[in-house]
Amino acid sequence: MFALENKNHPTPMKIKHVALSLALMATGIASAHADRLVIKGSDTLGAKLVPQLAEQFKAQHPGTTFDIAAEGSTTGIAAIIDGTAQIGMSSRRAKSSEVGAAASKGKNMKPTIVAFDGIGVIVNSANPIKGLTKKQVEQIFTGDVTDWSAVGGSGGKISVYTRNTSSGTYSDFKELAMKKRDYAGGSQKMAGNEQIASEVGKNPNGVGYVGMAYLKAGGIKAMPIDGALPSTKSVQAHSYPYWRPTFYYTNGDPSGLAKDFVDFTVGSGGQKIVAQVGFVPIK
Amino acid sequence: MKKLTLAAAALCVALGGTAARAQDAGALLDLLVKKRLISDQEAEEVRSELVKESASTAAGKWKLSAPITELELYGDVRLRYEYRGGRTPSEHTDNPNDWYERERERYRLRVGLRGTLADDWFFGIRLETSASSRSTNVTFGGEPSGGPFAKGDDGIFVGQAYFGYTGFPDFKFTGGRMPQPLIVTSMLWDDDINPEGLAEQWKHTFTFDLGGGGGEAVQSYSKGGYSKDGKVVAAPAAEPFKLKLDVFANFAQYVYDDTNPENPIGPRPTTTGNNTGNNQLVPQTDAFMMAWQVGARLTFPNSIYVQLAPTLYNYTGNGDSFNIHFVGGNPALSNSASLATNQTGINSLLVFDLPAEVGWKAWGLPMRIFGEFADNIEGHDRAHAAADLGGFDAHTGQHYAWMIGGALGQLKAKNDWEIRAWYQYAGQYALDPNLVDSDIFDSRVNQKGVAVKAGYMVADAISLNLTWAYAWRINGALGTGGLGDIQVNPLDQYQIFQADMSVKF
């Protein structure tokens, strides 16, 4: 026989109260989650552009919060695959292996171009060199050439600064400028564009590359490549050799807050900020 | 309009091979964007779909390192039945006129990767069953322990591991454990041998356009190229010409035997392996084999060609494994004592070799006559050294070897057939017994005889081959030098039959 009543058990009224409380809590969490956007990935996009876009977006959507982590494109794509972010920022295309990994987890890597960028090759502003060819850029960054005198400079051992391996710019530059060859053995890997610009600005023999948004840093100058400088016009016309699209990756078509933010980014308001920060608008 | 264009672009790309779609799409999509037929975003969406599709294919899951520009997986599996037997001589002290016979069923596996790298480099590796330099076979049921179907002798060994450079016009440089870079025949070189060391090859083609015609090139060390066996390959049809002259030079420096150590602690070790009972210092230098080959191939219209590849082989240094003077057996001794005499010494070997070949086509059938003459210029010294150690007369006339034969047909594609026959004569002191073919005639010298091979391609990848050879001892006063499968020395008569079925991929 079972006991009909147990005083240690909650009464029906108490159960109803707890259930109501839980429902309210859950609603509250859902509500908070819906107004919070987690964005991870590219330092190129995440250091300046996306925070400024987020600020503007928040002004139009009060109550929205952003969690932005800019640790390289690889981390952004991985975050979409793992489901730990709604938007993955990337300055490169997802690799075949990443797309395959996403598919195996039921994810669909959907790219949205948010801006164009030109990867500028920078040297110290005191460096007398006036320009480089594509071949010379390849030779410098692969270590085939180690002295400035070999590329028309005044002499001195070349110090190569690159991004670290999780950076989309790191792999994009290999593909665009180095025929996918490895970087020179002695190249120094920096965490972000600003660090590269800073190091090259301090080192008269330094050379590196940064996104267009960082070309105005002090102590550096951008090199014309085969006579072309990265500019809005040359990048939009795809005539500058080291141009590239930059992306938001989402799991399939974005929805909810993520869709709103993507739409804002590619809309006129967002593209205005894109131009202000130093990137090239998509239209 | 835009959507139509996009669909057309996607269709065009999709019509290509699956593995290549994503790469091909890049150029096509870039062009469509440049012509403003589609937007960057539309192009990106198509590109993303293609990458996704490609990533789900088997080819898309392979990842190759960036410097690889071309990669080929190749290999073969062969099943073989073999009979081989050798007869003791009538004057044999133990068992005169007795046949030592062996039948076995065997298989071999060879699988390799070879490819080209950026900036005119190339590489290759090949894994093989069997640790033997002159065989890749494993005998079914050959393990003495481990029960039936044991795997004790089914090992995988590195048969080839090499890389090289073709950046200078007409030149090819190779280092490592490589496919034979020289033009050779089985009389001197077993074709399973992958020599270790360095090779430098040069080849230049002169064409004499005398008013039309055509022909086939036969060997190419052209920039970025490599032949499947490192030997003869068919090159694309040449421009019209009357005569084509390929001039080539192949040089090789093989590490024949490494001495270890070069400088021991304390006094140098000694050995009594010279069968004299006297001590001999173990050498402290590595042994190298040098090959110097220059030659030419003259191709006339209608696939008629003549090829000569004179070569000089010399040895330098001693090594610690092949430095005892060669004896090659002694009929006056018991079989076991004769086998125990030195069979591998490389003393007094300076071999001039002249392989030659004439080929033509008649009634659409490739035909060729081939021959070879080799002379060990130091054969007299080798004969005297053997006689001194063996206690028999020096037979100094045993310093040359030759062969002549003919072939009909070729084995390239389904339903092709070929038959080859030749006569071969190899004097006791003419050749390096460590390199001669292990089947014809059981890795031995002081043998003469005939060999016949017949083959048929059942399918493009499947071939059937039959081989038969019979040999006789040349000089009855000498052993038959070399380490073979038949545990008889002298090998008075020898016979082998092989039936092979191979799949090549």
Nearest C-alpha of chain B: how many angstroms from A47? 23
SS3 call for B472: strand
Identify the residue among B40, B42, B65, B121 best suited for mutation to test binding to A, counting A beta carbons within 10 A and taking the highest: B40
Alpha-carbon torsion angle B133, B134, B140, B142, nearest 10: -70
Residue A224 sits in which domain range?
120-229
Whether omega for the bond prior to residue B261 falls within 30 degrees of 0, making it cis, is yes
Q: Are B367 and B407 in contact (CB under 8 A)?
A: yes
pLDDT band at A201 (very low <50, low <70, confident <90, very high): very high
Quick: pLDDT tens for A103-157. Answer: 888 999 999 999 999 999 999 999 999 999 999 999 999 999 999 999 988 889 9
Nearest C-alpha of chain B: how many angstroms from A201? 32
A32 and A128 assigned to the same domain: no
pLDDT of residue B236: 46
Residues of chain A with Cβ-Cβ distance to B60 below 8 Å are 96, 100
A151 and A76 assigned to the same domain: no
Residue A71 within a domain: yes
Residues of chain A with Cβ-Cβ distance to B52 below 8 Å are 99, 103, 108-109
Q: Which whole number is the average pLDDT over A266-276?
A: 95
Residue A273 within a domain: yes
Q: Which whole number is the average pLDDT over B339-368?
A: 95
Task: Assess if CATH 2.40.160 describes domain B64-101+108-504.
Answer: yes
Query: What ipTM score was computed for the predicted complex, to two decimals?
Result: 0.73
Q: Which whole number is the average pLDDT over A73-101?
A: 93
Q: Are A53 and A264 in contact (CB under 8 A)?
A: yes
Average pLDDT, chain B: 88
The rounded distance, in Å, linking the Cα atoms of A157 and A146 is 6
Residue A6 within a domain: no
Q: Do A247 and B44 touch (CB under 8 A)?
A: yes
A75 and A90 assigned to the same domain: yes
B30 vs A250: which has the higher pLDDT: A250
Residues of chain B with Cβ-Cβ distance to A174 below 8 Å are 66
Quick: pLDDT tens for B217-266. Answer: 334 444 333 444 444 444 444 455 578 999 999 999 999 999 888 888 98
pLDDT of residue A33: 47
pLDDT of residue B207: 86
Q: Which residue of B has its CA nearest to A109?
A: B48
A25 φ/ψ angles, rounded to the nearest 5 degrees = -65, -45
Q: Do A100 and B56 touch (CB under 8 A)?
A: yes
The residue written with tokens 């059981």 in the block is B442
pLDDT of residue B276: 66
Bridge partners (DSSP) of residue B289 are: B254, B315
Q: If contacts are CB pairs under 8 Å, which of residues 32-51 in chain B contact chain A?
A: 33-34, 40-41, 44-45, 47-48, 51
As a three-state string, the secondary structure of B247-302 is EEEEEEEEEEECCCCCCCCCCCCEECCCCCCCCEECCCCCEEEEEEEEEEEEEEHH
Q: Do B51 and A179 touch (CB under 8 A)?
A: no
pLDDT of residue B4: 43
Residue A62 within a domain: yes
CA distances from A142 to A179, A208, B224 (A): 10, 12, 22
pLDDT of residue B231: 45
Residues of chain A with Cβ-Cβ distance to B33 below 8 Å are 238
The rounded distance, in Å, linking the Cα atoms of B334 and B332 is 7
A97 and A174 assigned to the same domain: no
A253 and A167 assigned to the same domain: no
pLDDT band at A20 (very low <50, low <70, confident <90, very high): very low
Q: Do B48 and A103 touch (CB under 8 A)?
A: no
Whether the pLDDT of residue A34 is over 70: the answer is no
* Residue burial B375-396, b: 16+ Cβ < 10 Å; e: rest: bbebbbbbbbbbbebbebebbe
Q: Do B48 and A181 touch (CB under 8 A)?
A: no
CATH 2.40.160 domain span(s) along chain B:
64-101+108-504
The residue written with tokens 């602690």 in the block is B265
Structural domains counted in chain A: 2
Among A4-18, B29-43, B138-152, B193-207, name the most confident range. Answer: B193-207
A43 and A181 assigned to the same domain: no
A60 and A129 assigned to the same domain: no
Is residue B11 less than 8 Å (CB to CB) from chain A? no
pLDDT of residue B65: 85
Q: Do A99 and B52 touch (CB under 8 A)?
A: yes
Residues of chain B with Cβ-Cβ distance to A245 below 8 Å are 40, 44
Q: Which residue of A has its CA nearest to B60?
A: A96
Q: If contacts are CB pairs under 8 Å, which of residues 44-83 in chain B contact chain A?
A: 44-45, 47-48, 51-52, 54-56, 60-61, 63, 66-67
Whether the pLDDT of residue B339 is over 50: the answer is yes
Residue A127 within a domain: yes
The residue written with tokens 């790219």 in the block is A111
pLDDT of residue B211: 64
Question: Which token pair is B189?
Answer: 């070189």
B415 φ/ψ angles, rounded to the nearest 5 degrees = 75, 0
Is residue A94 less than 8 Å (CB to CB) from chain B? yes
Is residue B302 less than 8 Å (CB to CB) from chain A? no
Whether the pLDDT of residue B277 is over 80: the answer is no
Average pLDDT, chain A: 87
Nearest C-alpha of chain B: how many angstroms from A262? 13
A156 and A220 assigned to the same domain: yes
pLDDT band at B31 (very low <50, low <70, confident <90, very high): confident
Q: Which residue of B has its CA nearest to A106?
A: B52
Is residue A282 less than 8 Å (CB to CB) from chain B? yes
Of B33, B51, B67, the CB nearest to A99: B51
Domain at A180, CATH number: 3.40.190.10
pLDDT of residue B241: 56
Number of C-alpha atoms within 13 angstroms, CB side, residue B99?
10
Question: Which token pair is B469?
Answer: 């050879």
Question: Which token pair is A120?
Answer: 């500028």
Q: Are B242 and B209 in contact (CB under 8 A)?
A: yes
Please state, for a pLDDT cut of 90, what percent of chain B lies above it. Answer: 69
Whether the pLDDT of residue B382 is over 70: the answer is yes
Residues of chain A with Cβ-Cβ distance to B53 below 8 Å are none
Residues of chain A with Cβ-Cβ distance to B118 below 8 Å are 179, 181
A187 and A264 assigned to the same domain: no
| CB-count exposure of residue A25 (10 Å: 0-12, 13-18, 19+) | exposed
What radius of gyration, in Å, describes the C-alpha atoms of chain B? 27
Nearest C-alpha of chain B: how many angstroms from A108? 8
Q: Do B51 and A103 touch (CB under 8 A)?
A: no
A199 and A125 assigned to the same domain: yes
Nearest C-alpha of chain A: how many angstroms from B285? 37
| Window from B139-148, B219-228, B408-417 with minimum mean pLDDT | B219-228
| Window from A115-129, B20-34, B421-435, B438-452 with minimum mean pLDDT | B20-34
Nearest C-alpha of chain A: how many angstroms from B172? 22
Q: Do A96 and B60 touch (CB under 8 A)?
A: yes
Please state, for a pLDDT cut of 90, what percent of chain A lies above it. Answer: 69
Among A40-44, A185-189, B355-359, name the most confident range. Answer: B355-359
B426 vs A212: which has the higher pLDDT: B426
Number of C-alpha atoms within 13 angstroms, CB side, residue B78?
23
Residue A256 backbone zone (phi > 0: left; psi -120 to 50: alpha; other: beta): left
| CB-count exposure of residue B490 (10 Å: 0-12, 13-18, 19+) | buried
Q: Which residue of B has its CA nearest to A238?
A: B34
The rounded distance, in Å, linking the Cα atoms of B225 and B235 is 10
pLDDT band at B22 (very low <50, low <70, confident <90, very high): low
Q: Which residue of B has its CA nearest to A94?
A: B48
Please state, for a pLDDT cut of 70, what percent of chain B lies above it. Answer: 88
pLDDT of residue B36: 83
The rounded distance, in Å, linking the Cα atoms of B405 and B409 is 14
Q: Which whole number is the average pLDDT over B207-219?
A: 55
Is residue B97 less than 8 Å (CB to CB) from chain A? no
User: How many CB pairs below 8 A link A and B?
Assistant: 54
A69 and A50 assigned to the same domain: yes
B164 CB neighbour count, 10 Å cutoff: 25
The rounded distance, in Å, linking the Cα atoms of A32 and A26 is 10
As a three-state string, the secondary structure of chain A is CCCCCCCCCCCHHHHHHHHHHHHHHHHHHHHHHHCEEEEEECHHHHCCHHHHHHHHHHHHCCCCEEEEEECCHHHHHHHHHHCCCCEEEECCCCCHHHHHHHHHCCCCEEEEEEEEEECEEEEECCCCCCCECHHHHHHHHHCCCCEHHHHCCCCCECEEEEECCCCHHHHHHHHHHCCCCCCCCCCEEECCHHHHHHHHHHCCCEEEEECHHHCCCCCEEECCECCECCCHHHHHCCCCCCEEEEEEEEECCCCHHHHHHHHHHHCHHHHHHHHHHCCECCC
pLDDT of residue B387: 95
Sign of CA dihedral B24, B28, B34, B40: negative
A39 and A52 assigned to the same domain: yes
Identify the residue among A77, A95, A98, A99 best suited for mutation to test binding to B, counting B beta carbons within 10 A and taking the highest: A99
Q: What share of chain B is helix, strand, coil (3-state, %, to 5)?
A: 15, 40, 45
Alpha helices in B122-277 (DSSP H): none
Whether the pLDDT of residue B303 is over 60: the answer is yes
Nearest C-alpha of chain B: how many angstroms from A103? 8
B283 CB neighbour count, 10 Å cutoff: 19
